[in-house]
Amino acid sequence: MLWLPAILVAIWVLERISAENATKPEGHIKAVFRHALFATMGYVAKADGRVSVGEVRFVTQLMDEMELNSEQRKLAQNLFREGKTPDFRLDDALQRLSLTCPPEMLQVFVLFLMWLVYADGLGSNIKRRVVWDIASEVGVSREQLDEIEAVIRSKTEGASSSSSEGASSSSSLEDAYKVLKVSPGASDAEIKRAYRNRVKDFHPDGLPPELSEEILRFAEERMKEITLAYERIRQARNL
């Protein structure tokens, strides 16, 4: 299932950048972002030689949530097909994206790519490695990528009823540490401190009042994930 708050954040970032950087018109930034996103999605989807039904469904839902008009939708479909071809120039697309978009938008770009990898519920290792390489090219750190993947995996596992109880529990705990940005070897005090720091980033009381309702909902979603991660670790450690 598509993670709606992530799309809302992407749209919000686009709007914010247009207001902050008058030298790069809003329409230009959005066009560059969409061009790179849908073409690169085609590239990632084809990385293991097979584009799945779930991946096509994800891309279609993304177009719906971005509210693309008929012309933009047709272009996005053509870009996705172009990305699947052997002649697609990934380096050129990523370079243009990096020169046009700010770091926040690049993180959302990578988030969409990684969500595509998990569109069928179980991430392809080949496609994951491709996204790792792309993240490195656009300046998204491995730490940021681990957090992105941890969030996606926790949601995917939460929606899946077919995985085994033991494997799900182990992976869930591993992801919980990533959400709090600590290692499994961290002390109890470090865990508590990390939790407090993460709460500060997303607690509604600490956010600017001018943020839109959609962004506040996103912050609330992140707070739930952080709290759930902390509770998982607490239970595992008997804190």
Boundary of a domain, candidates 140, 175, 201: 140
| Residues 132 and 168 placed together within one structural domain of the fold | no
Would you say residue 1 has pLDDT above 50?
Answer: no
What is the average per-residue pLDDT within 39-49?
94
Categorise residue 121: left if φ over 0, alpha if ψ from -120 to 50, beta otherwise: left
Q: Give, in order, the Cα–Cα distances in Å from 31 to each of 68, 127, 164, 180.
A: 11, 25, 43, 34
Q: Which residue has the higher pLDDT, 198 or 188?
A: 188
CB 146 within 8 A of CB 112: no
159 lies in some domain? no
- Tally of structural domains, the chain: 2
Residue 30 and residue 116 in one domain:
yes
**Does any domain span residue 10?**
yes
Q: Are residues 130 and 15 in the same domain?
A: yes
Read off the tokens for 143. 């730490």
The CATH number of residue 200's host domain is 1.10.287.110
Q: Give a yes or no: residue 157 inside a domain.
A: no
In a domain, 44, yes or no: yes
Model pLDDT, residue 136: 94
Residues 62 and 169 in one domain: no
* Confidence at residue 38, expressed as pLDDT on a 0 to 100 scale: 96
pLDDT at position 172 over 50: yes
**pLDDT exceeds 80 at position 187:** yes
| pLDDT tens per residue across span 221-234 | 778 888 888 988 99
Residue 238 has pLDDT above 80, yes or no: yes
Which domain does 101 fall in, by range? 1-140
- pLDDT class for 123, splitting at 50, 70, 90? confident
What would the two tokens of residue 128 be?
Answer: 């994951």
In a domain, 154, yes or no: no
CA 122/CA 73 separation, integer angstroms: 27
**Residues composing the chain:** 239
106 and 172 housed in the same domain: no
Tell me, what's the pLDDT at 155?
65
Tokens of residue 116, six digits: 């595509």
- Structural domain ending residue among the three candidates 93, 124, 140: 140
Kindly state whether residue 125 falls inside one of the protein's structural domains. yes
Question: What is residue 169's predicted lDDT score, i.e. its pLDDT?
Answer: 45
Kindly state whether residues 52 and 109 are assigned to the same domain: yes
CB 228 within 8 A of CB 157: no
More confident residue, 26 or 55: 55
| 169/136 same-domain check | no
Same domain, 30 and 125: yes
3-state SS of the chain is CCCHHHHHHHHHHHHHHHHHCCCCCHHHHHHHHHHHHHHHHHHHHCCCCCCCHHHHHHHHHHHHHCCCCHHHHHHHHHHHHHHCCCCCCHHHHHHHHHHHCCHHHHHHHHHHHHHHHCCCCCCCHHHHHHHHHHHHHCCCCHHHHHHHHHHHHHHHHHHCCCCCHHHHHHHHHHHHHHHCCCCCCCCHHHHHHHHHHHHHHHCHHHCCCCCCHHHHHHHHHHHHHHHHHHHHHHHHHCC
Mean pLDDT across 184-210: 80
At residue 42 the predicted structure's pLDDT band, cuts being 50, 70 and 90, is: very high
In a domain, 230, yes or no: yes
Residues 175 and 127 reside in one and the same domain: no
Who has greater pLDDT, 64 or 35? Answer: 35
Q: How many CB atoms lie within 10 A of CB 107?
A: 22
Please check whether residues 63 and 99 belong to one and the same domain.
yes
Read off the tokens for 60: 């279609």
170 shares a domain with 127: no
User: Residues 132, 172: one domain?
Assistant: no
Indicate whether 72 belongs to any domain. Answer: yes
